[in-house]
Amino acid sequence: MAYTFGGAVGSRCSVTSLISLGATATAGVVTGWYYPTTLTATRRYWGAGTIFGARVAATTSEIELWTDNATTDGLWTTSGAGIATGNWYFLAVIWANNNTGPATSWRVYLGTPDTAPALVTLTTTTSPVGNFTGSATYVQGNTSASNVSFQGEITDTCLIATSTFNATTSPLGIAASTTITAAEEANILNRYILPLWAGDPARAANHLPQAPNTFDFMYWPATLTANVQRRGSGITALTWIAPTLTSAVYSAGGSPRPQRSVMASHPFVPH
């Protein structure tokens, strides 16, 4: 199943996170399958608050990432993403923010049913100035009631966010919020991004920490319900919560599944 967005003002699917997304000393990864039927600059793949998140770039085949800052909002743009209408894409975005600097580390991975998620080149368009502003309102397909939504289908999305930083016990394994090392990025790719691309959220959830940490894990499965699976701070087992749908339609569509032949070369996904 999928959420269908028709490019209407205010159309969105939202839920309240346990983490203030995009705030200082936070990190996260957002993944999902996206099927754009129309690509229009500034329309959101996902967001938190009015600014933070991923949206269609001015060159609509690319992706823009924004941070919400006190003086100047940060902007980063991909190159070579090659997104086109009428195709399914698996998008994964990793971030870590800290007011010192201020500093933001982004990573963008893009895959298809026929290709595993691969790192996309990202360039700083505008450096952030001033402290970061976060929001606990996580939104698919838009940011707020006043904006025009994504146009197409969105499904099988996942949010993993944290304000706990430790190389071994935090859910993302990031030691410091000022940077993401190559080893930490590889762990996130193997623990979470590749299994979620392969349609195995349970495998991803198995990597969540058992010890108390401040984190949130939410997964929108392609099932017969529009509910969201959650595990997080103080929630030791997966539970179900209901998102808020505004104009977005829960439809019979659904994401594709990569073929076993595509997954065969990746030891961290089921095949």
Q: What is the mean pLDDT of residues 147-162?
A: 87
Contact 253, 155 (CB under 8 A): yes
Sign of CA dihedral 163, 52, 241, 1: negative
- pLDDT value at residue 141: 81
Q: Would residue 84 count as lying in a domain? A: yes
Q: Would residue 270 count as lying in a domain? A: no
Q: Would residue 102 count as lying in a domain? A: yes
Which residue did the predictor score with more confidence, 193 or 249? 193
Contact 231, 240 (CB under 8 A): no
Q: Would residue 137 count as lying in a domain? A: yes
89, with CB counted inside 10 A (0-12, 13-18, 19+), is: buried
Q: What is the pTM assigned to this prediction?
A: 0.90
Please state whether the peptide bond connecting residue 258 to the residue before it is cis, i.e. omega within 30 degrees of 0. Answer: no
Q: Which of 107, 204, 206, 219 is nearest to 155 (CA)?
A: 219
3-state secondary structure of 75: strand
| The total number of structural domains that make up the chain | 1
Quote the domain boundaries for residue 204. Answer: 2-262
- pLDDT value at residue 203: 87
Q: Report the run of H or E that residue 262 belongs to, with start and end.
A: helix 260-263
Q: Would residue 271 count as lying in a domain? A: no
Which residue did the predictor score with more confidence, 82 or 178? 82
Tally of helices (H runs) and strands (E runs) in the chain = 4, 18
Q: Would residue 252 count as lying in a domain? A: yes
Distances (CA, A) of 258 to 61, 114, 139: 22, 6, 26
Which residue did the predictor score with more confidence, 162 or 266? 162
89-105: pLDDT as tens digits: 999 999 999 999 899 99
Q: Would residue 207 count as lying in a domain? A: yes
Q: Please, which pLDDT band fits residue 195 given cuts at 50, 70 and 90?
A: very high
Q: Please, which pLDDT band fits residue 147 given cuts at 50, 70 and 90?
A: confident
Q: Which pairs with CB-CB distance under 8 Å and at least 24 residues apart come from 52-60?
A: 52/21, 52/22, 52/133, 52/134, 52/135, 53/22, 53/139, 53/143, 54/30, 54/91, 54/93, 56/150
Q: Would residue 267 count as lying in a domain? A: no
- pLDDT value at residue 271: 46
Residue 229: give its domain's CATH number. 2.60.120
Q: Say whether pLDDT at 15 is over 90.
A: no
